[in-house]
Amino acid sequence: MSISTLSLTRFPGSISGLLQVASLLSLLLLLFKAAQFLLHRQWLLKALQQFPSPPPHWFFGHKHQELTPLKEACPAVTHLCHSLYHHADLTSVLAACHYCLCPKKFCPLGSLHQEFHYLSILNCPHSPSLIAHSLMHTTIYDPGYGLLLLNGETWFQHRRMLTPAFHYDILKPYVGIMADSVRVMLDKWEQLIGQDSLEIFQHVSLMTLDTIMKCAFSHQGNIQLERNSKSYIQAVGDMNYLFFSRARNVFHQNDTIYRLTSDGRLFHHACQLAHEHTDQVIRQRKAQLQNERELEKIRKKRHLDFLDILLCAKMENGSSLSDEDLRAEVDTFMFEGLDATASAISWIFYALATHPEHQQKCREEVQSLLGDGASITWDHLDQMPYTTMCIKEALRIYPPVPVVVRDLSTPVIFPDGRSLPKGFMVTLSIYGLHHNPKVWPNPEVFDPSRFAPGSSRHSHSFLPFSGGSRNCIGKQFAMNELKVAVALTLLRFELLPDPTRIPVPMLLPVMKSKNGIHLHLRKLQ
């Protein structure tokens, strides 16, 4: 009895002792992380001493200049760029609260604004940013790794494996498929022409999805007429917005916490919808390849389509792609081929609508080349120089992917002798570069002559598809689709802006408008 009583009296004391030990360990861990952060901060400040900049905040560096509402993001970036270009060519960002709370993603960050910086960064060994890599893998691509997230030798193997899917012999017949998809969209627009202004982004998204499904994934139906396609496009749009929103919220970096939030649940639902669509695409093609006739067609092809390459691929060790990596590659190309291309086409239409004199010059060029547009071929695409100039100028003002983030795998030495150390995370603001008055005089003015044949500019002053070894693998596919869409649309409609609904650009992973892109359409006789 006395032993039992003694044990009970000691039990509370044991709990108290454990709490004291736990508190001490927590305090030591906090001190360790604080010391780790301070040492890293000192290392960062030393690395950035050679780059002059405006006076930073003692805690956030220049981060406080970038923390603006999404709807104000473009004007804020433009204002920031103009102010920084007078003082500096690198913005140091010491996001103390973010990286201290997320030590596994601890990394210094800088924003570069000069074209020679982009040349040095994009041509040196680098990898996707740790933060973007972690967030995208644990949410969008989990459990596989696509070309966007792979590194090193595995990335090189996948890139080399997929490059033949964009050989010009493969891309040539795609022009006819693209034209058919654009005509379906334009036919729908004719039925809606009696309405007020038309929000074009959703229509363009359906068209680009239809195109990518037929060209890269051998789809036989018509996506633009299928109801469930809209839910997929909505899911991709939600993922785009929520991913960016999560990246800006320090408390949402933790996967467990994020899944408990309303945004986290919505993001998970959007990912499920997107993955179900991808899985269905893969299943359908696998089923088709069970047919001996379909297999015989593939054997006779000199170059395979994107999905057929993935399904027939053998890695260097002789193994096929895992189901997870296969889905991740399809997701990557589907998202980019749908969302980024739809963004580019929509903003090009808006730029032409707001500059009618350039729109008319493009129309006259296309009419002289295509007549009534009954047929458009691969050879036509290189015979519309002024239209191409206008497309490129619109991509400069409204880059479809406004920001690229990279982690330096090796130290980088710039041509002027300054350098950045290994482990430095750099945000390459494509939007900022394209609106840099030192790179592009009067950057807000729509001036297609900047891209006139023979005009001189730095090789890395115009990067709508990024640059270097990790540039967009489908950039030629995308440019072909932009030209086809613009040419056929201008033959059928005059594009006019809606002055009551001016688009509000948002710097998301893909450039979007907060209130949509509304245009008036006038049918040409």
Going by the annotation, the residues of the binding site for heme are 472
Question: What distance in Å separates the CA atoms of residue 217 and residue 330, rounded to the nearest whole number?
Answer: 9
Question: What distance in Å separates the CA atoms of residue 201 and residue 222, rounded to the nearest whole number?
Answer: 18
Question: What distance in Å separates the CA atoms of residue 152 and residue 419, rounded to the nearest whole number?
Answer: 23
Question: What distance in Å separates the CA atoms of residue 70 and residue 508, rounded to the nearest whole number?
Answer: 8
Taking residue 450's Cβ as centre, other Cβ atoms within 10 Å add up to 19
Going by the annotation, the residues of the binding site are 472
Q: Secondary structure of the chain: what % helix, strand, coil (to 5)? A: 60, 10, 30
Query: How does DSSP assign 231-256, residue by residue?
Result: HHHHHHHHHHHHHHHHHT-GGGSSHH
**Secondary structure (3-state) at 494:** strand
> Which stretch of DSSP H or E encloses residue 285?
helix 262-288
Nearest to 510 by CA among 219, 277, 233: 233
Query: How does DSSP assign 121-133, residue by residue?
Result: HHTSSEEE-HHHH
User: CB within 8 A of 312, min separation 6: which ones?
Assistant: 298, 304
Nearest to 249 by CA among 101, 87, 113: 101
Question: What distance in Å separates the CA atoms of residue 186 and residue 189, rounded to the nearest whole number?
Answer: 5
Query: How does DSSP assign 139-171, residue by residue?
Result: IIITT---TTT--HHHHHHHHHHHGGGG-HHHH
